[in-house]
Amino acid sequence: MYSEATATGNSKEPSLLFTQILKDFLDSSCCPRYTMNMYQLDGYVRALAAGPGEAKIEDWKPLVFGDQKPQYDDKFREDTITKALISLYNSHRDQALGNACTLPFITGYSPEKELRLQGEQWARGFMQGYIFWQDIWSQFLDETQTSSNLTVILPTSIYDEMDDILATISAVADAEYATETGVSLENLTRMFTQLPQKVIEYGRIAHMIRTRG
């Protein structure tokens, strides 16, 4: 499933068995209508696991299923699905701590929307994971904060880095909107190419917050 890897350090992937269990479950009739697909889930969990705190599964699991309860059966038991989700989370946590990024799709811009669909779904899932941590990100990245120690915790350049990271992920999530708002084809192509590195940078900044906050 994981076909494109750009990384420094050691890249760890989730158990292939757990990955297949998750994919089969998400595609099954057991799940509510607005359940994430595997690409959305992977992006969502990456942003959670690489984020500025420890995400408890009971807090983030409901959104995977559109805040509704799946109908588990004998084939798909709740404890097995929970273990599979934790496995995915832990693998992304390991990658983030190792400055690695493995993506479940081929990166690179294509003018054909169908060829961008997997990356678009992944990036939209990632943005949902970013929103999960938005209060913490805002606390440390809001330049209007008056707390005297914030400028010590994060260098000024971090604000620009985060803006660039979010702009890149947003462009992958909706390339058509990016072009409509003035992003040139050259810059759009560059953003798609840089996505794995921007994901690594996101994790690096989040780790800085976790260790200094």
User: If pLDDT is split at 50, 70 and 90, which confidence band does 14 have?
Assistant: low
User: If pLDDT is split at 50, 70 and 90, which confidence band does 141 have?
Assistant: confident
Residue 143 confidence (pLDDT) above 70:
no
Give the fold, CATH level 3, of 1-213. Answer: Four Helix Bundle (Hemerythrin (Met), subunit A) (1.20.120)
149 or 27, higher pLDDT: 27
pLDDT of residue 155: 64
User: If pLDDT is split at 50, 70 and 90, which confidence band does 205 have?
Assistant: very high
pTM of the model: 0.89
Mean pLDDT of 158-171: 94
Euclidean distance between CA atoms 202 and 103, whole angstroms? 15
Structure tokens at 175: 């390339």
Cβ(50)–Cβ(92) below 8 Å: yes
The residues spanned by each domain of the chain are 1-213
Q: What size, in residues, is the chain?
A: 213
- Residues 114-129 pLDDT 10s: 999 999 999 999 999 9
pLDDT of residue 37: 97
